[in-house]
Amino acid sequence: EAAVTQSPRSKVAVTGGKVTLSCHQTNNHDYMYWYRQDTGHGLRLIHYSYVADSTEKGDIPDGYKASRPSQENFSLILELASLSQTAVYFCASSDRDWGVYEQYFGPGTRLTVL
């Protein structure tokens, strides 16, 4: 089965600090995504990437940056963490086959900003 791992699994950060969340996939997938999940908001897309060294904005990119240094790795960066960024963050990958287009999610990172 497709494998997506995330680190750290949980993190406590201070307001104004820098946070980096990492994601690694061994699926050989081209597409990778970062979502946040808050109660009552389902999953909201922050950034995505379909090729190494390139990232695209999703629906809620403000306050976040992304980096895709290789096909396997995708990072989410909070340069100045804020209280409103407390959430669970999921990374996902999918292949290019539009007919399949299943996303495989990592286990999530619980971020608490104090």
Partner 1 sequence: QQKVQQSPESLIVPEGGMASLNCTSSDRNVDYFWWYRQHSGKSPKMLMSIFSNGEKEEGRFTVHLNKASLHTSLHIRDSQPSDSALYLCAAPANSGTYQRFGTGTKLQVVP
The CB-of-19 to partner 1 minimum distance in angstroms stands at 20
Q: Are 104 and 40 in contact (CB under 8 A)?
A: no
Establish how many alpha carbons lie within 13 A of residue 91's alpha carbon, considering only the half-sphere containing its beta carbon.
31
Establish how many alpha carbons lie within 13 A of residue 12's alpha carbon, considering only the half-sphere containing its beta carbon.
1
Give the residue, chosen from 8, 17, 69, 107, that forms a contact with partner 1 under the rule CB under 8 A.
107
User: What part of residues 63-92 is at the interface with partner 1 (CB under 8 A)?
Assistant: 90
The DSSP bridge pattern shows strands 109-113 and 10-13 to be: parallel
Binding status of residue 103 toward partner 1 by CB under 8 A? yes
Binding status of residue 59 toward partner 1 by CB under 8 A? yes
**Closer residue to partner 1, CB minimum distance, 10 or 82:** 10
> Is residue 56 helix, strand or coil?
strand
Instruction: Please identify, among the stretches 20-28, 68-76, 77-85, 96-104, the one whose residues bind partner 1 according to the rule CB under 8 A.
Output: 96-104
Whether cis (ω within 30° of 0) applies to the bond prior to 61 is no
Residue ranges binding partner 1 (CB under 8 A): 31, 33, 35, 40-45, 48, 50, 56, 58-59, 90, 98-99, 101-103, 105-108
